[in-house]
Chains A and B, each alone.
Chain A
Amino acid sequence: MPHDGHGHDEPSELSPIALRVKALESLLIEKGYVDPAALDVLIDTYETRIGPRNGAKVVAKAWTDPAYAKWLKEDATAAIESLGFTGRQGEHMVALFNTPDTHNMVVCTLCSCYPWPVLGLPPIWYKSMPYRSRAVIDPRGVLKEFAVTLPEGTAVQVWDSTAEVRYIVIPLRPKGSENFTEEQLAGRVTRNSMIGTGLVS
């Protein structure tokens, strides 16, 4: 790395945790436990290849293809795999269909379980103490912080991912979208709507 001209060597600019991780990486490479090129592939995969656009395709297809929606309800793992989204942290999938009477919301109170193949890596708030602690006891208060207000009488169902089953919420299709193509619909689907902390408008 080139000198920055401010009289600091590179290491002094790194935080203690950054230095610790750097030391750990050197050690693991020296010991031969990890392949440096594999690390780059892992980062590239989750930074550029896997994300909520995958889940949005699942949702849009469920909205436009009743046979697919039925399959998704009965065997979400297979229905999602048919679109090419499979593997790590999506081995056992369940799709939760919102209805006018029921709103679904997903949390992992014990760690950070999240359906990687369809949503990518979770956002910070999903993995953080405020959401993990409050989603199960005060889901409506949590939804308010995401500016989500549900119609009176709509029940909230919170799904705590305590095992290896991973959940994706299928939000309600927005009103006035009858003539939208599947692609246009997918463009409307947000990550939060598939966690249950957002609605699709």
Chain B
Amino acid sequence: MNGPQDMGGQAGFGPISPEADEPWFHEPWERRAFALSLAMGMTGSWNIDISRHARERLPALQYWRSSYYEVWIAGLVTLMTDAGLASTDEIANGRASTPPKPVARVATAAMIPAILQKGGPANRKSDLKARFRAGDKIRTRNISPEGHTRLPRYARGKAGEIIASHGTHVLPDSSAHRLGDDPQWLYTVRFTANELWGRANNDQVMLDLWEPYLEPA
């Protein structure tokens, strides 16, 4: 979707302001927000693409004004209500008024190290034959889907070159909408700054893009 998350190339957001000796968390509640988001993810009620889509569906002005973990919490509330795990009233009151809905897993403290170590690889087996290989010239499709996509606006309808293949990976455009993994070939594609921005220097931007985003140039 052409949502507030699609930041590449936007002007007007000011200086970067890196913070010296930045702590991992700035407020005690951020620790809890972080841990709650991860722990709820471990219940298996959604995947990473669904959770990204929940965040990018926030109203644009709210998304841009919020701090990082405020966005996470707003996203988590959407995920829980969408999944029927809690109602907005329960979330506001902090008290259950309905019985819990069964979840696939509740991660205990003892399970955490193994779960983190295993991670969530996104590569999947597929019989699909790769349409492209390194060196091929491509053009990205010009699309504006209403749903989730990982093809940013600034790289749509642009000419580039495949520089690497990563095998077949879960397609977020499908997975974010609970339509299955639909594994597709994933490539790293190189674009010149001139192609993307009309800037005649020797800089380049690389993106990881799935085959359905690409057509032969």
Docked-complex contact A40 and B29, CB < 8 angstroms: no
CA gap between A21 and B25 in the complex, in Å? 15
Docked-complex contact B208 and A163, CB < 8 angstroms: yes
Docked-complex contact B68 and A34, CB < 8 angstroms: no
A127 interface residue per 8 A CB criterion: yes
B93 surroundings in chain A (CB, below 8 A) = 23, 27
B13 surroundings in chain A (CB, below 8 A) = 128-130, 133-134
Question: Quick one: closest A residue to B101, CB to CB?
Answer: A31
Interface flags for A135-168 (1: CB within 8 Å of B; 0: not) read: 1110110100110000000011111111111000
Q: Is the interface of B mostly helix, strand, loop or mixed?
A: mixed
Chain A contacts to B: CB under 8 angstroms: 14-15, 17-18, 20-28, 30-35, 37-43, 45-47, 86-92, 94, 109-112, 120-121, 123-125, 127-137, 139-140, 142, 145-146, 155-165, 192, 197
Task: Using C-beta atoms within 8 Å of the partner chain, give the interface range for chain B.
Answer: 35 or more
Docked-complex contact B109 and A35, CB < 8 angstroms: yes
Docked-complex contact B17 and A130, CB < 8 angstroms: yes
Give 25 A-B contacts (CB < 8 Å), ordered by A residue.
A21-B32, A24-B76, A32-B106, A34-B39, A34-B107, A38-B107, A38-B108, A43-B31, A88-B116, A88-B118, A88-B119, A90-B119, A110-B8, A123-B19, A124-B68, A128-B13, A128-B68, A130-B17, A133-B13, A134-B11, A134-B16, A135-B8, A156-B204, A158-B203, A162-B150
Docked-complex contact B8 and A42, CB < 8 angstroms: no
A165 surroundings in chain B (CB, below 8 A) = 166, 186, 188, 208
B197 surroundings in chain A (CB, below 8 A) = 137
Interface residue from B6, B90, B107, B203 paired with A110 (Cβ < 8 Å)? B6
Q: Tell me, rounded to whole Å, the shortest Cβ–Cβ distance linking B7 to chain A.
A: 4
B151 surroundings in chain A (CB, below 8 A) = 162
Docked-complex contact A128 and B16, CB < 8 angstroms: yes
B17 surroundings in chain A (CB, below 8 A) = 125, 130
B210 interface residue per 8 A CB criterion: yes
Q: Tell me, rounded to whole Å, the shortest Cβ–Cβ distance linking B129 to chain A.
A: 20
Docked-complex contact B95 and A26, CB < 8 angstroms: yes
B145 surroundings in chain A (CB, below 8 A) = none
B143 surroundings in chain A (CB, below 8 A) = none
B115 surroundings in chain A (CB, below 8 A) = 88
Q: Tell me, rounded to whole Å, the shortest Cβ–Cβ distance linking B130 to chain A.
A: 15
Docked-complex contact A38 and B109, CB < 8 angstroms: yes
Among A27, A43, A145, which residue has the most Cβ atoms of chain B within 10 A?
A27
B96 surroundings in chain A (CB, below 8 A) = 27, 30-31
A42 surroundings in chain B (CB, below 8 A) = 34-35, 38-39, 112
The 10 closest A-B pairs by CB, nearest first: A23-B94, A163-B208, A109-B8, A37-B109, A164-B122, A18-B29, A39-B35, A132-B7, A31-B100, A133-B10
CA gap between A31 and B106 in the complex, in Å? 11
Among A142, A162, A192, which residue has the most Cβ atoms of chain B within 10 A?
A162
B28 interface residue per 8 A CB criterion: yes
B174 interface residue per 8 A CB criterion: no
B188 surroundings in chain A (CB, below 8 A) = 94, 165
A131 surroundings in chain B (CB, below 8 A) = 16
Known: A39-B39, A124-B19, A158-B205. 15 other contacts (CB 8 A): A18-B27, A22-B29, A28-B40, A33-B85, A41-B109, A86-B117, A86-B119, A88-B119, A92-B122, A109-B152, A132-B8, A158-B206, A160-B8, A160-B155, A164-B170
